[in-house]
Structure 1
Amino acid sequence: MQGETISMKKEKDNWYASWFNTPYYHLLYKDRGHREAALFMNTLTNHLNLQKNDSILDLACGRGRHSKYLYKQGFDVTGVDLSSESIEYAKQYEKPKLHFDIHDMCLPYPKKFDAVFNLFTSFGYFENEIDNLRTIKAIKEELKPNSYGVIDFLNAELAIKNLVPSETKKMGNIVFHIEKYVEDGYILKHIRFNDNAADFHYVERVKALTLEDFELYFKEADVNLKSAYGDYKLNDFDRNTSERLILIFN
């Protein structure tokens, strides 16, 4: 476990460890589509032919939105995330078949599952390129034989094409000023706001990975890409029109 401790300490210095641990992150994104997420989970679990009581690892689960829904659908769910605040919040919902744990997704979780889900663009954050590959390899280690991993990523090519450089969002009493741009192969989002006379500034940084980038990871990790879909209804991926890049592999 010493290696895991060192790795988690390293990751806690990165932007996602601090930003995801704040209440402002959850305030800014509180209007995410819960109905759309539920429909996607139904479509995905049916597509993978998952059965009641099958085990699912929700990798980078945040506060457990998808984990809780999957549990209610009859699955045995483990949600893991690096954010201690998110996991502390999620633990209030734990049940005999719904568990939450702090975990670095670059490392294999010490259990095997019938499916591993990495949802809502929770990939490509790392400072070191090798950590993206380490995560793919970890997912492979977490899968039972003949089971599937799923990465739900943005279609980076379309996201860059449709990038809105500047926008303002008011959530509650806080006005978030958001700037987006592309730099060194990453999509960056600067988030600035003031609360109680204090100024805050956070940066989201996601590598603009394409289907071809993932194919290279999969080849090096010795996993097989089964399907690439472009939306939550699992229509075929089209790099010119699809909002998402949803990859199913084993």
Structure 2
Amino acid sequence: MTNNSTKWFTSWFDTPYYHILYKDRDDTEARAFMDTLTEYLNIPQGGKILDLACGKGRHSLYLNKIGYDVTGVDLSENSIEYAKQFENHRLHFDVHNMCQPYPKQFDAVFNLFTSFGYFDNDDDHLKTIKAIKAELNTFGFGVIDFLNSEFVIDTLVPEEIKTVDGIDFHLKRYVENGYIIKDIRFSTDGRDFNYTEHVRGFTLSDFEALFEQAGVYLLDVFGDYKLQKFKAKTSERLIMIFK
């Protein structure tokens, strides 16, 4: 089964295999990041947060648990269907395209764990920044948590096999036409699968240009989940706070 859709994320993120491959993500680190970030931004207790491209809602659930009114949105219908079982009066999930403004305003909009840079057309990346701006109230902050492209490209592991739940995922990584690409091949239940992730290798200066075009102001840049200073050569993350 080959899936080379131009919108690769609509198919790959909707499969159970995506969640199997990444099941070992560090929830402790993610929760500590949410604690640090909400405290740094001084989001009021009960404040409204939009979790943009929320997946199955792991960040949304924790943000709700620590006292926030959270809306999680994602293009993946399967992920949102799964997340809806956790809804309450201060936690809601919705299928939504992040290129378009969600029809509410928030104290913060979080785009976490490299949930940006997927589009083939850079206009869609710009539309997403503009949509975040529209989703912020007067005092709101936007946050994009992206990979540090320079560091990722310098430390790229070209090939590896990762075995999860008895499935051997054959991973190949390379850079092509400005995109960081991961080719994922595996066989299970007598079928062969092939998916490709490709993320635009945006640098800080690329984001600065997008922010200027969108009319938003970059306030802070951090290089990891402890909000330490960003260093282009060594930081693993590129975390930007803007409004």
* TM category, shorter: over 0.9
Q: In the alignment, which residue of structure 1 is the partner of 2:176?
A: 183
Q: In the alignment, which residue of structure 2 is the partner of 1:139?
A: 132
C-alpha distance in structure 2 between counterparts of 1:226 and 1:190, whole Å:
35
Query: Size of the alignment, in residue pairs?
Result: 239
Give 1:19 shift: 0.1
Give 1:179 shift: 0.2
Q: In the alignment, which residue of structure 1 is the partner of 2:104?
A: 111
Give 1:13 shift: 5.6
Q: In the alignment, which residue of structure 2 is the partner of 1:233?
A: 226
What amino acid is the match of 1:180?
R
Which among 59, 67, 72 is matched to residue 74 of structure 1?
67
Give 1:52 shift: 1.2
C-alpha distance in structure 2 between counterparts of 1:40 and 1:52, whole Å:
17
Whether the aligned pair in 1 keeps the contact of 2:6 and 2:120 (CA below 8 Å) is no
SS in 2 for 1:141: helix
Q: In the alignment, which residue of structure 2 is the partner of 1:8?
A: none
Which among 9, 21, 27 is matched to residue 34 of structure 1?
27
**Which segments of 5 or more consecutive residues in structure 1 lack a partner in the other structure?**
1-11
Kindly provide the CA deviation profile for residues 131-187 of structure 1, in whole angstroms up to 9, marking residues without a partner as x.
000000000000000210000000000000000000000101111000000000000
Q: In the alignment, which residue of structure 1 is the partner of 2:185?
A: 192
**Normalising by structure 1, what TM-score?**
0.95
What amino acid is the match of 1:240?
K
In the alignment, structure 1 residue 123 sits paired with structure 2 residue 116: yes
What amino acid is the match of 1:194?
S
In the alignment, structure 1 residue 100 sits paired with structure 2 residue 70: no
Which among 193, 203, 211 is matched to residue 204 of structure 2?
211
Q: In the alignment, which residue of structure 2 is the partner of 1:4?
A: none
Q: In the alignment, which residue of structure 2 is the partner of 1:57?
A: 50
C-alpha distance in structure 2 between counterparts of 1:22 and 1:147, whole Å:
34
**Which segments of 5 or more consecutive residues in structure 2 lack a partner in the other structure?**
none
Give 1:29 shift: 0.2
**Normalising by structure 2, what TM-score?**
0.97
What amino acid is the match of 2:131?
A
Using the aligned pairs only, state the percent identity.
Answer: 61
Q: CA RMSD in A?
A: 0.8
Determine which structure has greater relative contact order: mean sequence separation of CA pairs < 8 Å that are 6+ residues apart, divided by chain length: 2
C-alpha distance in structure 1 between counterparts of 2:235 and 2:110, whole Å:
20
Residues 150-165 of structure 1 mapped to structure 2, 5 A cutoff: 150-165=143-158
SS in 2 for 1:175: strand
C-alpha distance in structure 2 between counterparts of 1:232 and 1:18, whole Å:
29
Q: In the alignment, which residue of structure 1 is the partner of 2:142?
A: 149
C-alpha distance in structure 2 between counterparts of 1:126 and 1:84, whole Å:
18
What amino acid is the match of 1:157?
E
SS in 2 for 1:245: strand
C-alpha distance in structure 1 between counterparts of 2:232 and 2:121, whole Å:
26
Which among 225, 235, 243 is matched to residue 236 of structure 2?
243
What amino acid is the match of 2:152?
A
C-alpha distance in structure 2 between counterparts of 1:131 and 1:23, whole Å:
27
C-alpha distance in structure 2 between counterparts of 1:174 and 1:132, whole Å:
34
SS in 2 for 1:217: helix
C-alpha distance in structure 1 between counterparts of 2:20 and 2:238, whole Å:
26
Which among 157, 160, 167 is matched to residue 167 of structure 1?
160
C-alpha distance in structure 1 between counterparts of 2:233 and 2:177, whole Å:
22
C-alpha distance in structure 2 between counterparts of 1:74 and 1:241, whole Å:
34
C-alpha distance in structure 2 between counterparts of 1:146 and 1:213, whole Å:
25
